Structure 1
Amino acid sequence: MRKTAPDPVAVLRGHRASVTDICFHPFLPFLFSGQGRDGTVKIWDFSDAGLSRIPLLKIETNTYHFCKLSTVKTPSALSKEGKVSEVGQMSAGEVSDFEKEVFVDAPCSERCEENMHHEGLQYVALSGENSSMVEIWDLKSAERFVQFPSNIPSNSSSVRNNGRGMCMALQLFLPSESQGFLNVLAGYEDGSMLWWDVRNPGVPMTSVKFHSEPVLSVCIDDSCNGGISGAADDKIVMYSLQPSSGACVVKKEISLERPGISGTAIRPDGKIAATAGWDHRIRIYNYHKGNALAILKYHHATCNAVTYSSDSKLMASASEDTTVALWELYPPRV
């Protein structure tokens, strides 16, 4: 007998328009949703009483497009004691007891300021004013830290990144073999993905083209040694990352009956992955083997994003139908 796909455990209906992105807090029971297209990046101070109407920090990036920003993905095996330096070198990993104490016990403004130095929270990657470029911004100084490629003027809107078109998807991360220097995996309009390292911003470490249409989502697992990508074409690609050689290699391609994947996510324990599709469906896969596990059919419009909580117990999906759904699927073994 075929099993029926599960329903969400909760549905959040606080939005009046399409929910374009969602993200769980690293360890507190908070879910952030929504994304503006006003050319700014904002940091919000929050408390038990609710959200302020005024952001703690506002950065005018002058970028107006559909590419979502990315904070730093750090491998769980790294040291917990490193801090971010002025040149983007750091050593970070899972949340330490110190970080929990700072986040949970300190006033909100102190928590935000102090923890910008941990886990790469000081930096964020986004598509630049010239939409073919990638930029990393320092949230503490509200200044651009580096751009890729570095040899293209930021105000040259006519310049295209060797015909690759706009940057459509990003993942900022810290490979364990990078000596603590930030890396970015970027997906472009022509279906290609480029791997950038801040130590050589003029030339990418590698360039691959796994998709025939614009890459709309890239996600890297918690080991920072592999990931999954989705695009406007009819396939999902699982790949491995080899920092020592700079290689990005296909592990498995999954064909889709209906094209269009807007969002991808890998559960922190690395066991399952999820995709958010144009066909209103959330699809769940075994991340190691690539076989399909479930198709979730709650949303009635394009699914824009999917994400997992840090304890791997909850998954959230966001849609153009203005809702955010919470799911409990394949609970991790304690």
Structure 2
Amino acid sequence: MVLYRSFKLRASSSSGCQAPPEDMHILTKHCSALLDLSFHQFISTAFSGQAQAELVRWSECQHYTTQVCWTFHSGAHGIGAYKAGVILKGAYCQVITQGRDGTIKYWDIGEAGLSRNPLTTIKTNSYHFCKISLLNKPRAKIQSTEVTKNDQKSEVSETEMQSRHLEDNGEVKGPNYVVIAGEDLSVVEIWDVNNSERLMKLPHPDSSTKSRGMCMAVRAFLPSESQGYVNVISGYEDGSMVWWDLRNPGLPVTCVKFHSEPVLSLCVDNSCGGGVSGSADEKIVMFTMDASIGSCLVKKEIILERQGIAGTSIRPDGKIVASAGWDHRVRVYDYRKGNALAILKYHHATCNTVTFSASSKLMASSSEDTTVALWEIYPPRN
């Protein structure tokens, strides 16, 4: 049975006054802990993935009642993460799922439902808890380099990699690159989803980040200064973060250490001028990034009463950032000033994910209490 509830919430504002009532909806169609959550960027649909490796699709046009539920990966491992991809020619929706069974799968979900077989299955042999980062910018580039495919090395030119993402009529195909923590726990890998090819490892095999421990969080982004080349920021077990520009993958842009415990979540704003990190320690860190000089500096350090931030997300309009905490709380901040706006206390277990819709009108949080909460909090006026 699907539970759909709507009621009003009053959240404390940064000024201490009561904010206007905010809408909240609770979605329950899950029988196990929620591990990840994502809005599709082009259609009014949200997806939630759970520990038993099932994916549920929620439709706004049907007032966020569930439409279908699929098992995508081995139930013994669960869905570690998933990302809604771009719409391809003649298709309704694509989704990329990451299982804790060492695979990434790319699915076509049409109006008739899920395709019987995935479009692509990538055997990454990566079994830990770092969530994938999808970069589906049509013109994103990766520097020519040796790539590994079936343990055989070959040279793939930049032109060839770009041409593989073109349809016969010249239209750009959907999700291009996925960044993951690799089979070697301290190494970041970049994969071409459409061709199931591993394009690059970070750092270069001749160097090492083993002293930093496991890679716990990754985020791919595309600064305007990078001339279309992909950038990656990765967080590690020792609390450090490393920024890579894939024009020169052998040498990081910069390395910083803002946390004393493992970095569990990273997000970068749409302007690529900064981001937010969450950790197993008691801090949320807002930081600035300047690609022209390779600097990453603390803008705001928020000290919490309780440890553990499992998820962070910056709203697409760049005005609000939210965090999902081990203490069951969702915290909302002014991203530009760092001021606290609200603490949302609906969930009754660890919050694993918080995310925003592309329109910036909705925020969603997921928890190990098996529920998804949809919040209309501080929505844009226009």
Alignment TM-score, normalising by the size of structure 1? 0.83
Determine helix, strand or coil for the equivalent of 1:9. Answer: strand
1:5 positional shift: 9.8
Of the two, which has the highest radius of gyration? 2
Higher relative contact order (CA 8 A, sep 6+): 1
Q: Give the AA of the match of 1:23.
A: S
> % of aligned pairs identical?
59
1: CA distance, partners of 2:115 / 2:100: 20
Q: Give the CA RMSD over aligned residues.
A: 2.3
Determine helix, strand or coil for the equivalent of 1:17. Answer: coil
Q: Give the AA of the match of 2:198.
A: R
Q: Give the AA of the match of 2:241.
A: M
Alignment map for 1:92-171 (pairs within 5 Å): 116=173, 121-151=175-205, 161-171=209-219
Q: Give the AA of the match of 1:329.
A: I
Determine helix, strand or coil for the equivalent of 2:285. Answer: strand
Q: Is 1:5–1:295's contact at 8 Å kept on the other side of the alignment?
A: no
What is the CA deviation profile of residues 181-223 of structure 1, one whole-angstrom value per residue up to 9, with x for unaligned ones? 1010000000000001212222211000000000000000010
Q: How many pairs align?
A: 297
2:77 is the counterpart of 1:21: no
1: CA distance, partners of 2:140 / 2:379: 34
1: CA distance, partners of 2:206 / 2:346: 44
What is the CA deviation profile of residues 53-92 of structure 1, one whole-angstrom value per residue up to 9, with x for unaligned ones? 5322111100000100001286xxxxxxx634574879xx
1: CA distance, partners of 2:20 / 2:332: 11
2: CA distance, partners of 1:172 / 1:64: 20
Alignment map for 1:1-334 (pairs within 5 Å): 3=18, 9-34=24-49, 35=79, 36-72=99-135, 83-84=139-140, 87=143, 116=173, 121-151=175-205, 161-334=209-382
Q: Give the AA of the match of 2:228.
A: G
Q: Give the AA of the match of 1:136.
A: I
1:177 positional shift: 0.2
Q: Give the AA of the match of 1:167.
A: C
2: CA distance, partners of 1:41 / 1:144: 12
- Once structures 1 and 2 are overlaid, which stretch shifts more, 315-324 or 5-14? 5-14
Alignment TM-score, normalising by the size of structure 2? 0.73
Q: Is 1:73–1:173's contact at 8 Å kept on the other side of the alignment?
A: no
Q: Give the AA of the match of 1:142.
A: S
Is the alpha carbon distance of 1:13 and 1:51 closer, same or farther for their aligned partners in structure 2, counting shifts above 3 Å? farther
2: CA distance, partners of 1:73 / 1:293: 31
Is the alpha carbon distance of 1:9 and 1:51 closer, same or farther for their aligned partners in structure 2, counting shifts above 3 Å? farther
2: CA distance, partners of 1:299 / 1:226: 29
Q: Is 2:223–2:291's contact at 8 Å kept on the other side of the alignment?
A: yes
Q: Give the AA of the match of 1:208.
A: V
Is the alpha carbon distance of 1:244 and 1:56 closer, same or farther for their aligned partners in structure 2, counting shifts above 3 Å? same
Q: Give the AA of the match of 2:226.
A: S
Is the alpha carbon distance of 1:125 and 1:208 closer, same or farther for their aligned partners in structure 2, counting shifts above 3 Å? same
- Once structures 1 and 2 are overlaid, which stretch shifts more, 319-328 or 197-206? 197-206
Is the alpha carbon distance of 1:166 and 1:220 closer, same or farther for their aligned partners in structure 2, counting shifts above 3 Å? same
Q: Which has the higher strand share?
A: 2
Q: Is 1:8–1:298's contact at 8 Å kept on the other side of the alignment?
A: no
* Structure 1 match to 2:63: none
1:116 positional shift: 3.4
Is the alpha carbon distance of 1:192 and 1:243 closer, same or farther for their aligned partners in structure 2, counting shifts above 3 Å? same
What is the CA deviation profile of residues 98-128 of structure 1, one whole-angstrom value per residue up to 9, with x for unaligned ones? xxxxxxxxxxxx9xx96535xxx21010000
Structure 2 unaligned regions, length at least 5: 1-15, 50-78, 80-98, 145-157, 160-166
2: CA distance, partners of 1:5 / 1:126: 40
Determine helix, strand or coil for the equivalent of 1:63. Answer: coil
- Once structures 1 and 2 are overlaid, which stretch shifts more, 64-73 or 242-251? 64-73
1:48 positional shift: 2.3
